[in-house]
Amino acid sequence: MSSLHVEPWAGKADTPEDTFLAVLRDMALRDGRALPRKLADEIERLPAARLPARPKRQPLVAQLEGLLSRAPQDVSALAGAVAAVQGRLHWEKSPANPKAGEFQHRHCFCTLTGPKRVIPSDRLQVGLFMIDGATFYPHHLHSADEVYLPLSGDAVCAVGSKGPRATKPGRFIQIPSWSGHAVWTGSRPILMVWAWLGDLAGGYRYGLPDADEA
């Protein structure tokens, strides 16, 4: 968005995806904890190549405008960057899995940077994630480190051995590699940024860690 004043990084293109990532990088640097800092570092390392956008919608995307309009002031720059890129996003659903339950039909996500995405990368995946209201995203775990950044909506998130905690728009949630995590949404949908860092290809499964992973 032209109203945003974010420092681009050297050699990067001027796409709406780049603006989104520049705002996200600045928020991650302000947070300063380990995984947001790692996210900022990985954004800085993204290559300069860009691929064409391939927009695709899912039914839940009809809720996106409302979610953005309710995003609090703290995240207004990032919500503005989402509004600017929304017509280019390729929304999809996770591969079908009987362990996903109702979640399978009540979520969608898109990926702005990652393998074969607009900003191609084999090291970093960043996207948006919507879960409908009154939905449980069952416990799952994966090799990649992950961060969530809620933008709008209410949810409770459990990570590892910590008890479930209410999410807060603008507050990063750190999910280390192979930590079990789950999300329960409130009466309305939630919109979050998600990012995978580190070992992207080492696996994903529903459930909780085995004893030797805990």
Q: Which residues bind Fe ion (CB under 5 A)?
A: 146
Distance between CA 143 and CA 177 in Å, rounded? Answer: 5
What's the closest the beta carbon of residue 137 comes to Fe ion, in angstroms?
Answer: 9
Distance between CA 20 and CA 6 in Å, rounded? Answer: 10
Nearest Cα neighbor of 146 from 31, 35, 42, 40 is: 35
Q: Which residue is nearest to Fe ion (CB)?
A: 146
DSSP assigned state of 104: G
What's the closest the beta carbon of residue 181 comes to Fe ion, in angstroms?
Answer: 6
Of 31 and 146, which has the nearer Cβ to Fe ion? 146
Of 22 and 129, which has the nearer Cβ to Fe ion? 129
The runs of H, that is alpha helices, within the chain are 16-31, 34-44, 64-69, 76-85
CA angle centred on 21, ends 202 and 147, rounded to 5°: 40
What's the closest the beta carbon of residue 14 comes to Fe ion, in angstroms?
Answer: 31
Of 17 and 146, which has the nearer Cβ to Fe ion? 146
Of 133 and 160, which has the nearer Cβ to Fe ion? 160
What's the closest the beta carbon of residue 146 comes to Fe ion, in angstroms?
Answer: 5
